[in-house]
Structure 1
């Protein structure tokens, strides 16, 4: 963790992936992020996979370095406390609907700072109010029908969903950026902002930003499936003589020269250039257009090397490559995890399961990143936050707990 956002407090009322990700990234940069959940946990509190003790590993990792407040958000009193917390803090991340008790207007009305300066970032489904989640906006984007083996029929073959909820994580990252942009604007002008970020717009907008939308409109149809080949450049998966699958990519002249040298096919490439009239050293286009012939050359030579020798040759030539791993292998890989300064020692996780935890993805070379912070127990900071943020006396907080409007730590979860 870094303390670049030290002094910034944020209320987060969210669930699932995108909204908690926005809060996580802010917390990892030093912001005080107070996640407020229903007293029994939000919709994601028991999200699969659970440990034997019933702790969600997904929830635990998306809520590191945050504080937790548990309120009865189905009661008027509990909702009122959340609105008051958001109003006094002045910064809100949520994926609750705008037409809910936690609307921007309802929170801003409770502010007492003169001109309302609330900054709220709200994750929505679609811009027109329809519900959405990562896998449904991905279906709409067209990407799943672009994936799959090259010989699949474009009209009848099934879609291929990605396993990673990428749109959720991209949306979470964008919301953290949007929040800080709005805070920067407030610091300059004194004016608050209501930011609405539809998950579907992030997906379709990213597709447009990549140039894919313009491409489809220009070509008047869909792009063909390419299997594991890289669109518009040279790259694909290959298999060594001993059965190891690996990926190579050549997006620059240096990368291309290195691959040709590592595979030892300089003569064969020259012969193919003479046959086709192409010069593969000039850029992506000739290498992509003649990819099938090139793939055959590279695979023929890969069949002659075991992985140990071939990977050594690839490394010596400074090429861009990596072997395929299962995710379990990746989690146990020394270079990726154990020897990677991204990861720190396991904090005291609520699950009581010890494992490496990531620090901030960004690192500052001349500053110590600090060890990863643990996720809170649900309700662990209820008393502290209500006292500090709302100036409630201990007796008042005790009464809220007695009436089950507020709950304390669930460390002894049944």
Structure 2
């Protein structure tokens, strides 16, 4: 039985680069929305962003734009600006939805859209609410997370490689757009939404209690691989591997003590210190002592034996893996959200689909278009341009198209 995807009634025009905006569009596309990505002719500023394939094509771009359609329009020109407004204000209950992170005088604003379609929905992604620029790394630095990250003896802040705020902004933007669509369905009203990366970061650390903690107790210092507020840290194995062990709950702590044979040792420690290690905060306060007691047990066993013992005891744990190992596992796991696709300009590529697992089989990951691959079809079928009009726009450099032969 063929199942329709939940958002196959929506058409979203995305005019955004880098991570936040494109990840919003990707989320919606993987749920069935038609997402039309608009770039300047030749590609946006992120078109050749690392990591790159051996062919020179961007693995980053190809994976963030899977399943979308690509239109190349120079919206800096009056004609191109008009085309972009037309795309963003097409009629229909599921159309009139626009996502962008463009800055400057060439940007298509909500006012431009609302003048043509009063119930238009726009999502504008920016750095700070006042329009100042920001990216994930600058926002992360400003919100204080690197100051809490890294080894305990680090004299400098430590960045991390995951663009967490970009990805959270993309997910928040997708939720915001769907909320606006729902509201429009019930009220007939459009929406103009601004989403600042700095607000996403501040809202998130606030929701975790970190702002309140800082005002009450001062800035939290980094403490390596220890889990804050509970017991969890890394251990070396006898075959020079590393694993992460976590004991958040009383049951997990009991399982860890049972499998390592340390119940009597920790009972004596509790009696000597007048504490109760069934309490999560007590395990955190004594984390270094606990780790030193457990370390020899892990260090005397290879990963293969630990895997068997820890799984049998239902300990919460995981081996540390390289990204290459994670890719190999994803490729061989029949239940994985990853699968191989044939990506134009790259060839066979491991890619991922939506992480949402529906009661029916999820759609397989789709390839990304090359820049401009859908320009002619979208402008003729959606906007009704004639071949003569399209040819004139091509000659003027307002639009560009890429054929499969050109992209190969």
TM-score over 0.5 for the alignment? yes
Residue of structure 1 equivalent to 2:343: 349
Residue of structure 2 equivalent to 1:328: 324
For residue 60 of structure 1, the aligned residue among 59, 62, 70 is 62
Query: Where do 5+ consecutive residues of structure 2 fail to align?
Result: none
Residue of structure 2 equivalent to 1:240: 237
TM-score, length of structure 1 as denominator length: 0.93
Task: Indicate yes or no: 2:254 matched with 1:261.
Answer: no
Residue of structure 1 equivalent to 2:31: 29
- More off after superposition, 379-388 vs 30-39: 379-388
| In 1, Cα distance between equivalents of 2:4 and 2:283 | 44
| Contact 1:378–1:410, Cα closer than 8 Å, also in 2 | no
Residue of structure 2 equivalent to 1:94: 100
For residue 15 of structure 1, the aligned residue among 14, 17, 20 is 17
Instruction: Describe the shift of the 1:332–1:299 C-alpha distance in structure 2 as closer, same or farther (beyond 3 A).
Output: same
Instruction: Describe the shift of the 1:385–1:75 C-alpha distance in structure 2 as closer, same or farther (beyond 3 A).
Output: same
Instruction: Describe the shift of the 1:201–1:107 C-alpha distance in structure 2 as closer, same or farther (beyond 3 A).
Output: same
Residue of structure 1 equivalent to 2:363: 370
Residue of structure 1 equivalent to 2:110: 104
- More off after superposition, 118-127 vs 256-265: 256-265
Residue of structure 2 equivalent to 1:277: 274
| In 2, Cα distance between equivalents of 1:140 and 1:410 | 44
| In 2, Cα distance between equivalents of 1:14 and 1:408 | 19
Query: Where do 5+ consecutive residues of structure 1 fail to align?
Result: none
- Post-superposition, which runs of at least 4 consecutive aligned residues in structure 1 deviate over 4 A? none
| Contact 1:2–1:28, Cα closer than 8 Å, also in 2 | no
State the 1:101 CA deviation: 3.2
State the 1:76 CA deviation: 1.8
State the 1:252 CA deviation: 1.1
TM-score, length of structure 2 as denominator length: 0.94
| In 1, Cα distance between equivalents of 2:387 and 2:170 | 35
Alignment of 1:201-220 (within 5 A): 201-219=199-217
What is the RMSD computed on CA atoms of the aligned residues?
A: 1.6
Task: Indicate yes or no: 2:196 matched with 1:198.
Answer: yes
| Contact 1:25–1:176, Cα closer than 8 Å, also in 2 | yes
Aligned length: 401
- More off after superposition, 343-352 vs 188-197: 343-352
State the 1:394 CA deviation: 2.4
State the 1:340 CA deviation: 4.7
State the 1:98 CA deviation: 7.4
Q: Helix, strand or coil for the counterpart of 2:87?
A: helix
| In 1, Cα distance between equivalents of 2:335 and 2:353 | 8
| In 2, Cα distance between equivalents of 1:402 and 1:81 | 16
| In 2, Cα distance between equivalents of 1:388 and 1:13 | 19
Instruction: Describe the shift of the 1:244–1:53 C-alpha distance in structure 2 as closer, same or farther (beyond 3 A).
Output: closer
- More off after superposition, 238-247 vs 170-179: 238-247
Cα displacement string for residues 75-119 of structure 1 (whole angstroms, at most 9, x for unaligned residues): 2211221111112241001111375431111121122xxxx0011
| Contact 2:76–2:106, Cα closer than 8 Å, also in 1 | no
Residue of structure 1 equivalent to 2:387: 394
| Contact 1:2–1:370, Cα closer than 8 Å, also in 2 | no
